[in-house]
Amino acid sequence: MTLTYETVDVFTDSAFGGNPLAVVFGAEDLPGEAMQRIAREFNYSETTFVLPPSDPANTARVRIFSCKREMPFAGHPNVGTATVLAWRGEAFGRKLGDRLVFEEIAGTVPMAIRSEAGRPVGAMLTAPEAFSTGVEAKVEDVAACIGLTPAEIRTDAHRPVVASGGLPFLVAELADRAALERAAPDTGAFGSAPTVVPHGAILCYVRTGGPNTAGSDEVDIRARMFAPIRNVAEDPATGSANVALMGLLASLRAEPGTLVRRIAQGVEMGRPSLLEGEADWGDGKVTAIRIGGRCAPVMRGELLAF
C-alpha cells in the first residue's frame, strides 16, 4: 500500500495563508485508528482521506479527522479536498467535471468547482444539514471567554446564540473592529463559563462598511473563531462556523432571496483567509447555505510508515 498526500492552504490564493489541509489518497485498507494517527501526525486542524464512494453516482467517500477525532462534517476540508480532486481531474478511474458529491458522516455534500481560464481555483460546498439555531449564551460568559467587556458584545440584531448547518457554533456579534482585533481566547473561561462550556467554540464577527468601520471595506464581514478547549486557540478559516453565521444572518432578514457575503477570517493571526458565503431564504426558513473559497497548493508527498 502506498499512501500519498497533498497539502493545500484553503480559503486563500496565497500559499502560507488560509487554513492548511492534508488530503490523503490510497488509504482504502486503513482502519480508522490509523487515519486518526496520521491526522495527528500532520497536526493540521483537519486531514481528509479520499475513499471510493459506496454509491457510484457520487464522487468519493471523504473521511475528515481533526487531531483528536473524526468529524461528521467540516467546511475547509471539503473545499480543499474538492479543489485537489479537481486539479487531479479524475478520481477512482472517472473524469471529474465541475460538480462533485462527497459521502460523509453528516450526509452527502455537493461541491461546485470554480475554474478560471480552464483551471480549477477553488470550490463551494452546500451544507449537508438544515439550518437550526439553539440556546442563547450569556453575554457576560461570551465576553469573558474572548477577553472583552459585555458592552463590546452587540445584541441588537441577535444575542450570542448557537447556530448550526452541520456543526454547531456559538455566534456573537461584536461592537466594532477594535473589539474584534483585541479579542483573545481565555482557556480558563472556556472551561468554566456555564453557558459556553457545552459548545466550546465561539465565532465572533463584525459587519464592515457601516458605522463599525467608518467607511468601506473589501469584505462584508470580519470574523475570528476561538476553540481553545478543543486545542484550537484560533482557527484561520472555519467553513462550518461561517455556514452557521450565514444561516443566522439570512434568518434575521425580512425579505426572501439569497444573501451573499464576503467574510475575512484569520487576519489577526497572520493567516488571512477569504470565505464566500451564500444563504437562500424563503417561506420563513433558510433553505440552503453555501460556503466557498480558493485554494493554494503547498506540498506533495508520501507516507513512509506503512
Partner 1 sequence: MTLSYETVDVFTETAFGGNPLAVVTGGETLTTEAMQAIAREFNTPETTFVMPPADPANTARVRIFTPAMELPFAGHPNVGTATMLARRGEVFGRPVGDAVRFEEKIGLVGLDILRSGGEAVGAVLTSPAMPEVKERFDPSAVAAAVGLPDTAIVVARHAPVQVAIGAVLLIAEVEDRDVLAAARGDAGLQLKHLGEAAPPLVYLYTREDAGADYLHIRSRMFAPRAGIPEDPATGGAAVAIAGLFATLMDGSLDLVIDQGIEMGRPSRLDVRLIREGGAERITVAGRCVPMMRGEIVAV
The residues binding partner 1 (CB under 8 A) are: 5, 7, 9, 15-16, 20, 37, 40-44, 186-188, 231, 233, 296-305
CA distances from 212 to 184, 202, 217, 222, 267 (A): 20, 20, 11, 11, 17
Nearer to partner 1, 69 or 94 (CB): 69
**Amino acid letter at 118?**
G
Q: Establish whether 33 is a catalytic residue.
A: no
Cα-Cα-Cα-Cα torsion 48, 51, 54, 57, nearest 10 degrees, comes to: 90
Least CB distance to partner 1 at residue 299 (A): 5
Least CB distance to partner 1 at residue 56 (A): 31
Quote the DSSP letter at residue 229: G
Nearer to partner 1, 38 or 79 (CB): 38
The C-alpha cell that represents 122 in the structure block: 477553488
Compute the distance between CA of residue 121 and CA of residue 123 in angstroms, rounded to an integer: 7
Least CB distance to partner 1 at residue 76 (A): 15
Compute the distance between CA of residue 219 and CA of residue 275 in angstroms, rounded to an integer: 10
- 73, 123 contact by CB (below 8 A): no
Compute the distance between CA of residue 140 and CA of residue 132 in angstroms, rounded to an integer: 24
Return the closest-CA partner of residue 265 out of 235, 245, 285. Answer: 235
From 46, 103, 104, 173, active-site residue = 46
Least CB distance to partner 1 at residue 229 (A): 11
CB-based contacts of 33: which residues, under 8 Å, 6+ apart?
none
Nearer to partner 1, 256 or 297 (CB): 297
Nearer to partner 1, 23 or 244 (CB): 23
- 227, 201 contact by CB (below 8 A): yes
Compute the distance between CA of residue 20 and CA of residue 42 in angstroms, rounded to an integer: 10
CA angle 75, 80, 81 (to 5 degrees): 100
Nearer to partner 1, 19 or 208 (CB): 19
Least CB distance to partner 1 at residue 10 (A): 13
Nearer to partner 1, 98 or 302 (CB): 302
Least CB distance to partner 1 at residue 273 (A): 14
Compute the distance between CA of residue 63 and CA of residue 47 in angstroms, rounded to an integer: 8
- 136, 102 contact by CB (below 8 A): no
Active site residues: 46
